[in-house]
């Protein structure tokens, strides 16, 4: 039996009244397990067929989200390592679904680690636009970067900075933003004992203060006419309705988007705010006793454009484009010729990569930056874009991230493995295999795993040593 903090229980009794018993009983049930398919890697029909043994059921508020049977072990599968899906708490899938990023948009995920919402946004963007994924803590930013790589995200940069540090680089820059703010974590009590042990009313207060600071920074990076989703995985009104209330009091240019909702979401509670403003009924909650999810709060906000002309200019990128300064792209003609030759050799079907000009050398690592990424000098940037190649003396070797971003039709040579063979490959084993000499994209059921290099009768394993594991 889960022991909830006594002060938390008392507050929830006051808030929920007669609903509290049902709420408390939900903690005695098994929590719902969820995963979300990755559109960058495959098609829905193929996905449902390939993973039918997971017992998939749709998550009502996420088109690509599914519940899976408790007996399934999707995290111990080569398909997980291949980025076919992201294991994610079902409630959390609602955030990007509500924001609905559209192809070509500039998107900021401000508090992004470990990467569930970033990979969801990237999946919907479909390799277009710009996605900046930020995490202030360096260790968590590394995990975020690894997940961006695993999920095959191309037009994505990972930064590691405070929200305030980002403002000079992206003033009124983004079309939409994800602010999944650090919170007291009340919606994690069922799965995370540490969250229960660390909870206190004082921590709720501190979280509420920090959330306002984050929202202030977010407001200045969103273009006029843009939209922002604010979310938490907590039930505390101080961090939810009251947080939105305080923000709107300071920012009259923002309003709650009231005409968009999703199946399975409950309305917010204006009466739990300080002002009681009725538009807070347009915010959303997921309750563990009313839906299959641990709990979430969401508010979709829109920033008013001062005039139709201002909104039109922002949409066309004129206002933002005039102030853009681009990074120092590679000018070395020999290096550029080398990377284009490499791409022709290993992935001739991804011709658009070789046609690009946004090449950036990070030490001896060559990246292809998102087209619309401005100059980031002075920022901590663990991953400035798609890692394409390593410069090794006089030659270039294709990076693992490049392999992870490819589909079979883009590669020159393919080695298709069975699930059992894929497990051996991820463990670092070389595989006896005949085929054309050279760099070869290794796949399992169409999902890219990494590079092998065919030589003689063996496929040499180039799966990164730091990622190898026994499944």
Structure letter (DSSP) for residue 121 = H
- Torsions phi, psi of 73, nearest 5? -130, 70
**Strands 106-109 and 174-180, sheet pairing:** parallel
**107 and 302 Cβ atoms separated by less than 8 Å:** no
- Torsions phi, psi of 180, nearest 5? -90, 90
**352 and 410 Cβ atoms separated by less than 8 Å:** no
Q: Is the dihedral of CA 90, 96, 102, 105 positive or negative?
A: negative
What tokens appear for 103 in the block?
A: 């192809």
How crowded is residue 334: how many other Cβ atoms within 10 Å of its Cβ? 7
Rounded to the nearest 10 degrees, how much is the dihedral formed by the CA atoms of 316, 321, 326, 329? 40
Which helix (H) or strand (E) element contains residue 177?
strand 174-180
What tokens appear for 341 in the block?
A: 């030759």
DSSP states of 345-382 as a string? Answer: HH-TT-HHHHT---EEEETTEEEE--TTPPP-TTS--S
Burial (0-12, 13-18, 19+ Cβ within 10 Å), 309:
exposed
Measured between alpha carbons, how far is 370 from 9 in angstroms, rounded to an integer? 47
Q: Is 233 a catalytic residue?
A: yes
Distances (CA, A) of 434 to 408, 414, 417: 18, 12, 13
**60 and 97 Cβ atoms separated by less than 8 Å:** no
Measured between alpha carbons, how far is 346 from 393 in angstroms, rounded to an integer? 19
Instruction: Give the residue from 93, 92, 52, 48 showing the smallest Cα distance to 69.
Output: 52
Measured between alpha carbons, how far is 206 from 191 in angstroms, rounded to an integer? 23
Q: Which residue in 176, 183, 207, 233 is the catalytic one?
A: 233
Measured between alpha carbons, how far is 448 from 404 in angstroms, rounded to an integer? 6
**Catalytic positions:** 233
């Amino acid at each position: 039996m889960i022991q909830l903090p006594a002060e938390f229980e008392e507050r929830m009794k006051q808030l929920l009244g007669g609903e509290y018993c049902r709420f408390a009983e939900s903690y005695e049930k098994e929590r719902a397990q969820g995963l979300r398919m990755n559109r960058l890697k495959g098609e829905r029909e193929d996905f449902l067929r390939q993973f039918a043994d997971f017992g998939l059921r749709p998550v009502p508020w996420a088109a690509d989200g599914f519940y899976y049977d408790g007996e399934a072990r999707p995290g111990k599968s080569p398909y997980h390592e291949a980025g076919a899906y992201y294991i994610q708490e079902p409630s959390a899938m609602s955030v990007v679904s509500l924001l609905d990023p559209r192809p070509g948009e500039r998107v900021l995920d401000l508090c992004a680690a470990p990467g569930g919402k970033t990979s969801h946004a990237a999946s919907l963007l479909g390799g277009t636009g710009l996605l900046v994924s930020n995490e202030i803590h360096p260790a968590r930013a590394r995990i975020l970067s690894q997940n961006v790589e695993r999920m095959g995200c191309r037009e994505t940069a990972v930064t590691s900075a405070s929200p305030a540090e980002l403002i000079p680089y992206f003033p009124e820059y983004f079309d939409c933003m994800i602010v999944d703010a650090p919170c007291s974590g009340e919606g994690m009590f069922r799965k995370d004992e540490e969250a229960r042990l660390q909870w206190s009313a004082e921590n709720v207060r501190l979280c509420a203060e920090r959330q306002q600071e984050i929202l202030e920074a977010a407001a200045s990076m969103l273009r006029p006419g843009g939209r922002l989703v604010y979310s938490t995985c907590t039930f505390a009104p101080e961090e939810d309705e009251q947080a939105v209330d305080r923000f709107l009091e300071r920012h009259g240019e923002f309003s709650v988007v009231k005409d968009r909702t999703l199946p399975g979401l409950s309305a917010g509670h204006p009466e739990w705010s300080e002002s009681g403003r009725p538009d807070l009924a347009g915010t959303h909650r997921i309750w563990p006793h009313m839906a299959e999810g641990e709990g979430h709060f969401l508010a979709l906000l829109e920033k008013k454009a001062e005039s139709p002309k201002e909104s039109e200019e922002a949409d066309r990128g004129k206002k933002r484009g005039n102030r853009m300064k681009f990074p120092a792209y590679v000018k070395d003609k020999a290096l550029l010729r080398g990377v284009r030759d490499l791409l022709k050799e290993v992935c001739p079907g991804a011709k658009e990569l070789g046609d690009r000009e946004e090449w950036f050398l990070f030490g001896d690592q060559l990246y292809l930056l998102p087209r619309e990424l401005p100059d980031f000098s002075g920022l901590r940037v663990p991953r400035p874009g798609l890692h394409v190649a390593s410069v090794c003396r006089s030659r270039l070797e294709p990076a693992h991230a490049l392999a992870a971003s490819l589909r079979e039709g883009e590669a020159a040579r393919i080695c298709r493995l069975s699930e059992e063979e894929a497990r051996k490959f991820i463990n670092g084993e070389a595989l006896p295999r005949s085929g054309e000499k050279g760099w070869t994209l290794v796949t399992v059921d169409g999902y890219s795993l990494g590079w092998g290099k065919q030589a003689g009768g063996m496929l040499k394993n180039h799966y990164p040593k730091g990622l190898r594991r026994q499944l």
